[in-house]
Amino acid sequence: MRHLLEPEDLTIEEIDYLIGLANDIIENPEEYVDICRGKLLASLFFEPSTRTRLSFESAMNRLGGRVVGFADPSATSQSKGETLTDTLKIIEQYVDIFAMRHPQEGAPYLVKKYVDIPIINAGDGGHQHPTQTLTDLLTIHHYKGDFNNLTIGMVGDLKYGRTVHSLVNAMKRYKNIKFIFISPEELAMPSFIKDELNSEDYIETDNLLDNIKDLDILYMTRIQKERFDSYEEYLKYKGVFVLNEEKLNRAKDDLIIMHPLPRVDEIPEEVDRDSRAVYFNQAGYGMYIRMALILFLLEIHPKNFTPPAAKPMEDKKIYHIDKKCSNSHCITQFQNIVDPGVVVDSFGKYRCEFCNEEVL
């Protein structure tokens, strides 16, 4: 049983396989129209979404499968007080695969303990968003040819932006990757991501203008309004980075400008006319890579496609200590979880088994 909760659940070879398959689907869509007949995807969106939900649902429909689900959890028995895990144990009886988005960090890691069908994490709070990363990888592959020798600037809300967490998680495995993390200090990349990098492989700054010239990829993000404790707090950072002509004039000709979207004020519309802006095409790739992912997780292998030898999912060893996760967005704060545990990272630090926050 395979799940996709974070990019490192896939090996590099499996990512190559998915990219190859997605490209074949783009070139030969008619070969795939019936391949998922009889299969059902549950599209479970406990948090708002446009691109991710509709691209998952379009993906399954284009594969000839069907979709059930909801885009608004207030219409489910959650509103009667049913626990998340009970709700999902029920839906498991009806479907073959879950795509689930949830506002609480670590939610799909909890669900994994209870269900026996593949789970795709379609975004868990400010934690991870692995299918956006697959979308980003397909985009990078299209424009750059491969994943090595790239300087990647990530700009905006790196603290709460789950897309950048997952993208670092995926890209750090390739050769000669340099990250430039550009954010206000208060919205810096969290340590659960940075600790996994060599210190010489990234720099942190709040200056986009001076650093844009070095970039091969500029990955813009919005300030994640819904994750702040108050609207006043959000207003402090709204509009801190805006991409404009002055900055773009300093950038390389073969830069690509990416954004997971939605944008708010960080990329004005006039930038859309710059040939380096690829974010709308990026969104389009999302459907094709999700088609490939659904086939892979359902173990449906099209003609001429043999997936790499399966890597058994290594369950990290879980320890039970006398301390609790203090991340106020973590699933452990909202669900009554018996004896939540910690994992030990490569530096010997204890981290919450669900949201990866350090437990002190």
Give 120 or 342: the residue with its C-beta nearer to ligand NCD. 120
Strand 40-45 to 97-102 pairing: parallel
Give 280 or 319: the residue with its C-beta nearer to ligand NCD. 280
C-alpha distance from residue 35 to each of 18, 138, 291, 296 (Å): 16, 22, 10, 12
Give 163 or 183: the residue with its C-beta nearer to ligand NCD. 163
Residue type, 237: Y
Q: Would you say 63 and 291 are in contact if contact means Cβ atoms under 8 Å apart?
A: yes
Q: Is 168 exposed, middle or buried (0-12, 13-18, 19+ CB in 10 A)?
A: buried
| Cα distance between residue 68 and residue 41, in whole Å | 6
| Cα distance between residue 224 and residue 238, in whole Å | 9
Which stretches of the chain bind ligand NCD, using CB under 6 A?
A: 51-52, 123, 129, 132, 162-163, 221-222, 260-261
Give 163 or 211: the residue with its C-beta nearer to ligand NCD. 163
Give 141 or 165: the residue with its C-beta nearer to ligand NCD. 165
Task: Kindly give, in sequence order, each residue whose CB lies less than 8 Å from that of residue 73, ignoring residues fewer than 6 positions away.
Answer: 45, 46, 79
State the nearest-atom distance from the C-beta of 19 to ligand NCD, in Å.
19
State the nearest-atom distance from the C-beta of 360 to ligand NCD, in Å.
27
Give 2 or 51: the residue with its C-beta nearer to ligand NCD. 51
| Cα distance between residue 117 and residue 114, in whole Å | 10
Which residue's entry shows tokens 């603290």?
159
Number of neighbours of residue 194 by Cβ within 10 angstroms = 17
State the nearest-atom distance from the C-beta of 47 to ligand NCD, in Å.
8
Q: Retrieve residue 196's tokens.
A: 């996994």
Q: Which residue is nearest to ligand NCD (CB)?
A: 260
